[in-house]
Amino acid sequence: MSFLSILDLRVLGDPILRQDTKPVAVVTDDLRRLIDDMFETMHAAKGIGLAAPQVGRSERVAVVDVEGGSRPIVLVNPEVVSLDAKLEKREEGCLSIPDVFGDVERPGAAVVRALDRDGNPFEVQGTELLARCLQHEIDHLHGKLFIDYLSVLKRRAALAKWAKSKDRYPNYIRRLTAEEMAEHHHDEEL
């Protein structure tokens, strides 16, 4: 039996967060292990979504587990099939930019096509929080962060707040502490 690992999170400033990921050619046991470790890390960090670049990996893989959702979702090579024309504004945060939040306008519904943890194709339809989380994680796979959607003024304020705390993360690495894993965040961080 293999044990799961809590992976180090990469934070804003690490170049991998701004790079496009590489499509996965075949789902291997190593990739499934990465997926399991990503779920373990995301849950430990009290997040609801996590993309491979956030743990320093370049594969096009993300995991999502929205509370109240029917099941945790594995997204290998995800593609947005359709987005609702109606936009909704809601506060977002990100495990790679701790304690920074901003109101982001996104389509309220999304359909995404991907491969599951066994390499089988599927589609997932999401509304509200699930739709937002799917879009947020797919953005990560293309080097885009939620702060990119903020107005110049709000982005500047978010980056100023981040500048005050980024020194806590040498080499752009966020190692989860036992305290962080135990405390409860009032907001979801994607």
Dump strand ranges (E) for the chain: 9-10, 49-51, 61-64, 73-83, 87-94, 97-107, 109-115, 121-127, 173-174
Tokens of 62: 């993300």
Do residues 67 and 48 lie in contact, with contact meaning Cβ atoms separated by under 8 Å?
yes
Closest CA to 144 of 12, 42, 24: 12
Tell me which of 59, 92, 137, 189 is the catalytic residue.
137
Question: Can you tell me whether residue 173 is helix, strand or coil?
Answer: strand
- Rounded-to-integer distance, Cα 62 and Cα 13, Å: 20
- Rounded-to-integer distance, Cα 184 and Cα 109, Å: 28
- Rounded-to-integer distance, Cα 145 and Cα 143, Å: 7
Q: Is 137 a catalytic residue?
A: yes
Alpha helices in the chain (DSSP H): 29-44, 128-140, 152-165, 178-182
Q: Which residues are catalytic?
A: 137
